[in-house]
Amino acid sequence: TKAITLDEGYRNTGACESNITFINPEKGILRHRGYPIEQIAEKLSFIETALLLFEGEVPSPDRLKRFSDLLTANEMLHEGVRQFFDGFPSTGHPMAILSAMINTVSCYQPDVMELEDEDTFDVSAAQLISKVRTVAAAAYKMSIGHPIMYPDPNLSYCANFLHMMFSIPKKVYEPDQDIVDALNLFFILHADHEQNCSTSTVRLVGSSQANLFASCAAGVCALWGPLHGGANVAIMNQLQELHSTKMDLGKFIEGVKQKEYRLFGFGHPVYKSFDPRAKILSAAADRVLAKLGVNDPLLELARRLEDVALNDDYFVSRNLYPNVDFYSGIILRAIGIPVNMFTVMFAIGRMPGWIAHWKEVRDRKSKIYRPRQIYTGPTERSLA
Ligand code: CMC
């Protein structure tokens, strides 16, 4: 047997081969299936991006229509699922509810969960992408004590989600196209990011041949933490606190440098330069807020914070730049999404990436993932 090499957090271990996403950490490049994220963000919809991730090509109009029809056909939750929402306290965390409900939903379609052929995969993927949005909006409605809104089959993916979030009985919410576009952009920029913590989790769970729903429910849990997807909540809380206490930014940064707390939305395990998604979101934040006529003091605060950090040797010497979470929350806030739903929004956006990676594990007939360890516990001893 070969000696085991310690690589904590697998930072320098290629755990798999993948055709889906390419990152150049030094140059801040991100490409899906060869296409730069900047072009994808400008030219594709979220659902086109999902199909690009699954299949490697931008879908033809016919392919897009077939998949969109499947999304519509699968947008409802089985009525039996509704009773489960009643079991959660209104204070239940939306990520806990999302993860639990993905497995619950799967109990109502056990027949299509296994990847037996392309058609079955298509249905499973469409079910997950479509229903996760219905579940997320329903969890929100339950948390504020409002009745759940049923999806509207006439609406696009993003408009339908906004409808389920913000319509109330007898008052249909009709979103501005700018809001729909902003949400579409948010989802696209979260769609995949190769072997991050949650995607690796999905691959790992999937490598045991666990079904797609179970594997993605595990992904939701991995995403929840503040060092990963939960950072979009953490930075928003930091900005809100800075704003409400009017704390001096220099003093706040000093606390970061003294390691009393981290500046969330900054730093990345892979990028050693600007996260390209943060660049797009930073520009979008200005554009979206201007279009919507929103004047959010937190945007100006975030800009000042970025400026202070990027001119401080602590951040420069450690290659700490804004990541995808730094500006995304400001856009979600302008759309009207409550802060405790931010990581759920990340999960909805990341779903295509998780599904594409789960499929890749299956298609490649991957071995079961089984990392080793360096044992550091006691040597053999005897119980008296
Ligand atoms: N604020 C202050 N100091 C930081 C930060 C930060 N956000 N990130 C890293 N550092 C410091 C850290 O204290 C350490 O300093 P030293 O060398 O003196 O010990 C050095 O930089 C390296 O940190 P690390 O923890 O070894 O770096 P990592 O690559 O393991 O961490 C990270 C990556 C994303 C977990 C980290 O940068 C972090 O905690 N950022 C804040 C949370 C965040 O925004 N997460 C979202 C990541 S991007 C979206 C996603 O994938 O979910």
Among protein residues, the one with the nearest Cα to ligand 1's atom 41 is 264
Q: How many A from CA of 357 to the centre of ligand 1?
A: 25
What is the pLDDT at residue 119? 74
Model's pTM, two decimal places?
A: 0.97
* 267 in Cβ contact with 323 (< 8 Å): yes
Phi and psi (nearest 5°) for 380?
Answer: -60, 135
DSSP state of 193: -
Strands 35-36 and 21-24: unpaired
% of residues, the chain, pLDDT over 70: 98
Sign of CA dihedral 280, 140, 125, 181: negative
Consecutive 10-residue averages of pLDDT for the chain (384 residues):
90 95 96 98 98 98 97 96 91 95 91 69 94 96 93 97 97 93 98 98 96 96 98 97 95 96 96 94 95 94 96 96 96 96 98 97 95 96 95
Q: How many A from CA of 264 to the centre of ligand 1?
A: 8
* 200 in Cβ contact with 293 (< 8 Å): no
30-89 pLDDT tens trace: 999 999 999 999 999 999 999 999 999 999 999 999 999 999 999 999 999 989 999 999
Phi and psi (nearest 5°) for 32?
Answer: -105, 125
Closest-lying ligand 1 atom to the alpha carbon of residue 269 = 29
The Cα–Cα gap between 307 and 179 comes to 28
What is the pLDDT at residue 116? 64
Q: Residues with Cβ < 8 Å from 290, sequence gap 6 or more?
A: none
CA 311 to chain centroid, in Å, comes to 29
Among protein residues, the one with the nearest Cα to ligand 1's atom 10 is 267
What is the pLDDT at residue 113? 65
* 103 in Cβ contact with 214 (< 8 Å): yes
Closest-lying ligand 1 atom to the alpha carbon of residue 323 = 48
The Cα–Cα gap between 122 and 345 comes to 22
Count of Cβ atoms closer than 10 Å to residue 194 Cβ? 17
* 384 in Cβ contact with 34 (< 8 Å): no
Ligand 1 binding site (Cβ under 6 Å of any ligand atom): 196, 227-229, 231, 256, 259, 262-269, 318, 320, 323-325
Q: How many A from CA of 291 to the centre of ligand 1?
A: 33
Q: Residues with Cβ < 8 Å from 323, sequence gap 6 or more?
A: 231, 265, 266, 267, 268, 271, 275, 277, 278
Among protein residues, the one with the nearest Cα to ligand 1's atom 29 is 269
What is the pLDDT at residue 112? 67
The Cα–Cα gap between 199 and 346 comes to 13
Among protein residues, the one with the nearest Cα to ligand 1's atom 22 is 318
Counting DSSP H helices and E strands in the chain, the numbers are: 17, 3
The catalytic residue positions are: 268, 325
Look at residue 131 and give its three-state secondary structure. helix
197-244 pLDDT tens trace: 999 999 999 999 999 999 999 999 999 999 999 999 999 999 999 999
Q: How many A from CA of 39 to the centre of ligand 1?
A: 28
Q: Give Rg (Cα) of the chain.
A: 21
The CA-based angle 139-140-142, given to 5 degrees, is 65
The ipTM (two decimal places) reads 0.98
What is the pLDDT at residue 115? 60
Tell the residue number behind the tokens 């209104």, with chain if given: 90
Q: How many A from CA of 35 to the centre of ligand 1?
A: 28
CA 314 to chain centroid, in Å, comes to 28
Best residue among 318, 321, 325, 326 to mutate for probing ligand 1, ranked by most atoms within 8 Å of CB: 318
What is the pLDDT at residue 114? 65
